[in-house]
Amino acid sequence: MLCEKCQQRPATVYYTEVINGQQKKMHLCEVCAGQMQAEGFSLFLPQMNLHNFLASFWSQAPQVQPFAPQTTGEAKCPACGTSESFFAQKGLFGCSDCYRYFGERLEPLLRRIHGSSSHTGKVPARTGGRARLVKQIDQLRAQLREAVAREEYEKAAELRDRIKKLEQEL
């Protein structure tokens, strides 16, 4: 199969994008894929890359405090020196310590973009047994709290027993 963009080289990169339930697929050669990645891979907004997208959320979100200096001097990561203005412009952090240092102000942004600030992605089927059990126990505990709040004590007792059984499996 030839590259869909240049029609010259064999397609070695298979790109799928799903936005609002609409799926777009592209078969690209390495050269065209590299160009698309530099531009930003979106088929709908090819001029915007991920870093610019994140930076735009930071500077335009009315309910999120803009990422700007809070004191007389601009806040910088003590480990790498990345500043707030650099992140606001580029959408990039310099190191893993930036997430801890700027975390308090980053969390509202993550909640706005993703709906949550914790990862709840897929678990590998072969190796994710323990993680799946832990997630299931957490869900059952949340249901247990709701049942107790609604004074549904029989349901709460069933949930408690299921939690104990799953904890024994761990």
Going by DSSP bridges, is the β-strand pair 13-19/22-28 parallel, antiparallel, or unpaired?
antiparallel
Residue 121 belongs to some domain of the structure: no
Residue 1 belongs to some domain of the structure: no
User: Structurally, how many domains does the chain consist of?
Assistant: 3
| Beta-carbon contacts of residue 32 (< 8 Å; ≥ 6 apart) | 3, 5, 6, 9
Interior CA angle at 24 toward 19 and 27, to 5°?
140
Q: What is the pLDDT of residues 24-41, one digit of tens each?
A: 888 888 888 877 765 555
Q: What is the pLDDT of residues 83-102, one digit of tens each?
A: 888 877 777 788 888 888 88
**What are the tokens at 152?**
């549904």
User: What pLDDT is stored for residue 87 in this prediction?
Assistant: 78
Same domain, 39 and 64: no
Same domain, 36 and 59: no
Same domain, 86 and 107: yes
Residue closest to 36 by CA, chosen among 1, 2, 10, 5: 5
pTM of the model as a whole = 0.34
pLDDT mean across residues, the chain: 77
Q: Which residue has the tokens 């790498």?
A: 80
Residue 2 belongs to some domain of the structure: no
The parent domain of residue 94 ranges over 52-114
How far apart CA 19 and CA 48 sit, in angstroms, is 15
Q: Which residue has the tokens 């700027």?
A: 102
Residue 77 exposed, middle or buried by CB count within 10 Å (0-12, 13-18, 19+): buried
Same domain, 58 and 87: yes
User: What pLDDT is stored for residue 56 in this prediction?
Assistant: 61
Residue 62 exposed, middle or buried by CB count within 10 Å (0-12, 13-18, 19+): exposed
